[in-house]
Structure formats: C-alpha cells, structure tokens
A and B are shown apart, each in its own frame.
Chain A
Amino acid sequence: MKKISLFVTFILALALALSACGAPAEPAVEEPAATEAPAEATEAAATEAAPAEPFRVAVVMPSTINDLAFGQSMYDALVRVQEEMGGPDAFEFVYSESMFVVDDAAAAIRDYATQDFDLIIAHGSQYGSSLQEIAPDFPDTSFAWGTTVDTFGLPNVFAYEAASHEGGYVNGVIAASLSKSNVIGVVGPIETGDAKLYVDGFKAGVTATNPDITVNVNYIGSFSDVALASEAATTHIAAGADVLTGSAQMVTGAIGKADEAGVLWLGTQSSQASLAPSIVVATQVFHWEVVLMEIIALVNEGTLGGQSFEINLENGGEVIEFNDGYALPDEVKTLAETTVQGIIDGSVTFTLP
C-alpha cells in the first residue's frame, strides 16, 4: 500500500511540476523543423551592398514563436531586424523553441556556440546560470540574456529586460477609464519577473486613475494551464469584473472567456487582438529590435557584452498598440496617449510595491 501512495505522490508531484513549468523537451522529431530559419522574409532581398557574411543569430526560448506572448515578441522582433538590415543576406537567424527544460536549453546554447554564430540569445530568465557557465568557454561569441539586468560581469554577455510596468501602467489607466462595475480582474502566471512587474504597474495605473476600483489579481501558478486560466477569468467575471488583463501564453484561455462574456481585455508582450477582435482594447507590444539593433551594432564594433539594456516607452521598445476593431472613446485614447507621454517626459511617476 505504501508503494501505491508513493507512486501517486510521485505522479502528482510530476503533474504539479509539469503544470508549473509548461512543456518539457520535445522529441527529436521536432528538431529539424524547429531550428530552420523562417522563409517569409526571403523576398526582402538586399538591394544595397550587403556585407559578405550575414550577421548570424541563434535564439533559445522556453515557449513557442507563435504563443501570442513572450516567445512571439522575440520572434517578431527578429523578423523586423531582418527586414531592417536588408533580408537574409545580411541577417540570418535560427531558433529553438519549447526549451522549457533548462538542461535542454543549455545543450542547445552550447551547440549554437560551437557553430560560429555572432550572437546567441537566451530568451528566458531561467537560462541565467547555464549561460554563466557556458559563456566563458566561448570568449569570442557574444551572448544575450533576458529578461534581466545581470551580465555576471562577463565581457561577452549582454542583458536585456522590459520595463513592462510602464505599459502596464498605461493599460491600467485605460482599464480604469473603461470599467463601469469598478471591478477589474488580472490573470497572472507565477508571481515573479516580467509578469509581476506588469501586474504591479497595471495596479498602479488603475489606482492613480480611480482609487475606488478593486483590482482582483489571480496568479494561477502556471505558464501553460489554459484551462485554469480560463476558469480564473470566469471567476473574475462572476466577481463582477468588466475589464480583464493578464500576462504570459496561457491567457488565451482567459481571452476566450472574456470574449464570450463581452468583457474587455488588455494585453501585453505580443498583440492579442487577432484572438478576440471585438474585446481586445489595446496591447503593450514588446519591440525587442530596439535593443537587438544596439547589440548588433556593438558586436560589429567588437564589443561582445558587458552592458545591459531595457526596452521602455521612451526608446520605442514598448508600444501601446490600439486594436482598430474596438471603438475606444476618443477621450480615453487621448488620456492613454498623454499618459505614455507623461511617463516618457517624467511628469507621470509612480512607485511599485
């Protein structure tokens, strides 16, 4: 009998770990498909004299390139960098997605490092300690790690992060202006990092606009449990919320419930308007290319690391993208735009808890 309970405990622990961490390693069958460079930008061929060798980037990410969230924000940025630099002749990139198992990610990073890439991006804060170990073995290769400010003092590691509380604040202002029930719901993954920063900024924005509004926050303990995110949204709606927001890739479940109930949604990381065109009001979209272009320029000059970067509203790395499908009242849009301006010029300030 002991054996059974031990076994079940093990299974439950495994389930908990899985639900908390998302996807483990993909089987090998996925590899060739996942690592090949995307084809869509091929027609944008370089017209001017491209450098003899293209700049080559490899990126390792925990979720997928089309997760409508963190992974996609990097993928979209790389595509934009490629367009800006003049196509695949000037800029090449490959990626490994679904690398939630840090060990697998570390192996992928090391593999890329041996393959003569100009820049290897570890797009996940969980990859830090692996990078700290790998980077010194490849002193001629440049690495970038996000989201963080820590370069470990290594000369070949760049760090990048998003000031997601800034767009979070703007989203909070919009949400507070649109809420009639004075209840707003937040569906978060795990109370840490980028998600916590966004949620804290959001709450500050709501309170600054209308202190009478209650912001209910729900961290579901998982980046991948779509079913629980969906029930969390249902719970918020039952509790009276008429505007919702949330961070990370499992919010698709929450957006679906918001859409069914006709409740408004504010997004972050990548545009989520395509999922529910009638209720997505605005999304804080990450434009990592702002940081990537700087890093690429530095690498070309021979600086391989040692600096940290931030995307924010001021440098255009964060953009509040309004969804055309939703008729946002002009005064709210104006208020949102002045708030963006205010954060940029310093006239709007707020403190995070």
Chain B
Amino acid sequence: MITDLFSTTVLIGILASGIRLATPYLYAAIGETFSQKSGVLNLGVEGQMLIGSFAAFYVAFTTGNLWLGLLVAMIVGALMGLVMAFVTVNLHAQQGISGIGFYLFGLGLSDLLFQRLIGNVETIKGFEKIYIPGLSDIPGIGQILFNQNILVYGAYLLVPLAWFVLNKTTLGLKIRAVGENPDAADSLGVSVARVRYFTIVLGGALSGIAGASLSIALLNVFQQNMTSGLGFIAVALVYFGAWKPVGVLGGALLFSMVNSLQLWIQVLGIPIPSDIAVMMPYVLTILVLVATVSRVRAPSALTKPFERDE
C-alpha cells in the first residue's frame, strides 16, 4: 500500500492539490509579511479573508462578473485594513487583542450578510482553469503547475514581486526601517504612520483576495466560517518563513503538500488513524519550526506601537 504513494497519479495528485491548497495561504501570508515587516502584527487576517470571500461571492453571484467580485473583495479587505491601521497606528491599541477583535468582527459580519443577502448555500461558476499552450501539455509538470486558475498563478507571481518590493525598492527599505527602528526612520523623515497604514491596507487587500480565491476560484461556494482557521495558519507561516516571501512560500507549500499527502494516505487505505493523519501538517510544521527557529529574528519593532519622543 505504501508503494502506491509513489505512482505517477498519486504524486501528480499530491503536488497539484498542494499547489492549490497553498494559494489562499500565499496571498494572506505575503500580505501579513508586509505588515509585520513594518512592525504591525495583524491577527485579523482570518476575518478579512471571510469578508473578502463573502464580498467576492456576493458580487459574482449577483452580477456574474468575477473580476468585479475580486475587485470588491480587495476593496473591502483594504477597508478593514484601514480601520485596523487606525486602531493600531493612531489609537496605539494592543495589536494581538485588536486583531482577534477584527477576526470575530469579520466572522460575524460575513455570516450575517450571508444569511441576510443570500440565505442558502449556492454555487457559482468561478474562474476556470487556464490552458497555457505548450506548458500545460508537459507531462506531469503541466498537470501540476499549469492546469490551474488565474488566482493560483497570481499567488505564485506575488512571491517574487513581494521579494522585489521589500528588498530592492525605496518603499521596501522604508518598510523594513519602520519595522526595525521606527525612531531612526522617523528622524530621517520617514513617516512611520504612513508606511504602516500602507502595509496594513495592503495586507487587508491581499487577505481579501485570499478569501476571494476560495469563494470564486477554488471552491465557488460561500458558507459560514469557510476559511476555517486558514488565516491563522497564514500568520504562523510568516514566522515560519522568517519574514521572507520565499520562506513563506516554502512554508505554505510544505503545509499544503503534507495536507494533500494525508488525504492520499487515507484514500490509499494506508493504516494510519484519520485523527493522526489530519494532524500531520500541523505537527510537521511545528517540528520544522523548532528545528530552524534559532536563525529567526523578528522585526525589532513588531507589535510595538510607535510614539514619537517629544
């Protein structure tokens, strides 16, 4: 039975599932990387994802326009980010607690709107898989990488883009400076508040897309609490990835691949109790984290509100 795991069908199945499962994590965790790099821990990701997920679904459901749904998801995610930014930057609220508050707000509001505006679990036609001539036909690799919808491709393109912005642009330098030493950045004329507003709003918009990737691309359905903890895993992946987009990619892929592996383990009848199987991705992620944690250094100003010394 164990040898069944190494057949081509199974390997392609595991890898292609893993690529899809990692998609929402990537959007949310890259967004979170930006906010944490600037010193703000946003625990409200899950709530922003739920709102984005609902908004995208509702717009696509009523208008039939998926792109409009995606845009609205981005906007409502960004708006939630804006409120979060006001609460953490201007009001200096404790970030962990207010983040949990935003999560609960998003959970409740998305469910309330769903009950009032749609009422039943419905399905829509979401973004379809895109066939790329040549690439999609490559045996194996084509099925794994190039047989996905547009939002899956977008998630993976976001990784180098985020790396570039964070490491090769002035904006990235400002973000890192604000997260490492806000006093120094401030004295050099960088507006700490503006940079943090930018990263939190960006994080919100990306969380909105993460939610939309579920409701109008991967699952094409909305139901109550459908993110089911994904947003919190995304926050953990930022730590796992040591605040680097590539690290986040590695973490998201590891977690998702092990998750799709455990699905196959059960399907192939390999005698591991299902309770143990479903724990595998979590346990493995913690193990890798423990093994590599010594090299990790968080942005120095993470979770610390900035107040200019008078």
Contacts and interface: CB of A to CB of B under 8 A. Distances in A.
Given A216-B269, A218-B266, A5 B293 contact: yes
A221 interface: yes
A37 to B, nearest CB: 15
Given A218-B266, A226-B219, A239-B9, A30 B229 contact: no
Contact of A15 (B236, B240, B294): B236
A15 B232 contact: yes
B148 to A, nearest CB: 12
A67 B282 contact: no
Nearest to B260: A231
A64 interface: yes
Contacts of B224: 23, 63-64, 67, 98, 224
B158 interface: no
A16 B109 CA distance: 23
A227 B298 contact: no
Given A5-B289, A220-B263, A235-B264, A226 B226 contact: yes
Contacts of B17: 231, 234-235
Interface string B210-230: 000010001111011110111
Q: What is the interface residue range for chain A against chain B?
A: 35 or more
Q: What is the interface residue range for chain B against chain A?
A: 35 or more
Contacts of B170: none
18 contacts: A22-B228, A27-B104, A27-B108, A67-B121, A219-B275, A221-B275, A221-B277, A221-B279, A224-B228, A226-B219, A226-B228, A227-B219, A228-B259, A231-B259, A231-B263, A239-B13, A253-B219, A256-B220
A30 B274 contact: no
Contact of B21 (A12, A16, A219, A231): A231
Nearest to A260: B220
Contacts of B107: 23-24, 26-27
A33 B236 contact: no
B221 A219 contact: no
Given A4-B298, A12-B236, A227 B267 contact: no
A63 to B, nearest CB: 7
B286 to A, nearest CB: 6
A276 interface: yes
A216 B274 CA distance: 12
Contacts of A221: 274-275, 277-279
B152 to A, nearest CB: 13
B302 to A, nearest CB: 10
Interface in A180-210: 185, 188, 190-191
B274 A191 contact: yes
Given A225-B229, A226-B226, 19 more contacts: A7-B239, A11-B235, A13-B282, A14-B232, A16-B279, A27-B108, A66-B121, A216-B269, A219-B266, A219-B275, A219-B277, A221-B277, A226-B221, A227-B219, A227-B226, A235-B17, A235-B264, A252-B219, A276-B123
A188 B266 CA distance: 11
Nearest to A22: B225
Interface stretch (B85-93, B111-119, B175-183, B201-209): B111-119
Interface string B223-261: 111101110110110011000000000000000000110
B286 A9 contact: yes
A11 B123 contact: no
Nearest to B234: A15
B interface secondary structure, majority: helix
Interface of B: 9-10, 12-13, 17, 20-21, 24, 104-105, 107-109, 111-112, 115-116, 119-123, 214, 218-221, 223-226, 228-230, 232-233, 235-236, 239-240, 259-260, 263-264, 266-269, 273-275, 277-279, 282, 285-286, 289-290, 293-294, 296-298
A14 B103 CA distance: 13
Given A68-B121, A226-B228, A219 B289 contact: no
Given A4-B293, A23-B224, A238-B9, A227 B230 contact: yes
Contact of A275 (B24, B123, B239): B123
A236 B267 contact: yes
A108 B226 CA distance: 24
B24 A252 contact: no
A75 to B, nearest CB: 12
Nearest to B239: A8
A235 B115 contact: no
Contacts of A98: 111, 224-225
Contacts of B264: 235, 239
Contacts of A256: 123, 219-221
A249 B233 contact: no
A33 B232 CA distance: 28
Given A11-B232, A235-B13, A218 B221 contact: no
Contacts of B293: 1, 4-5
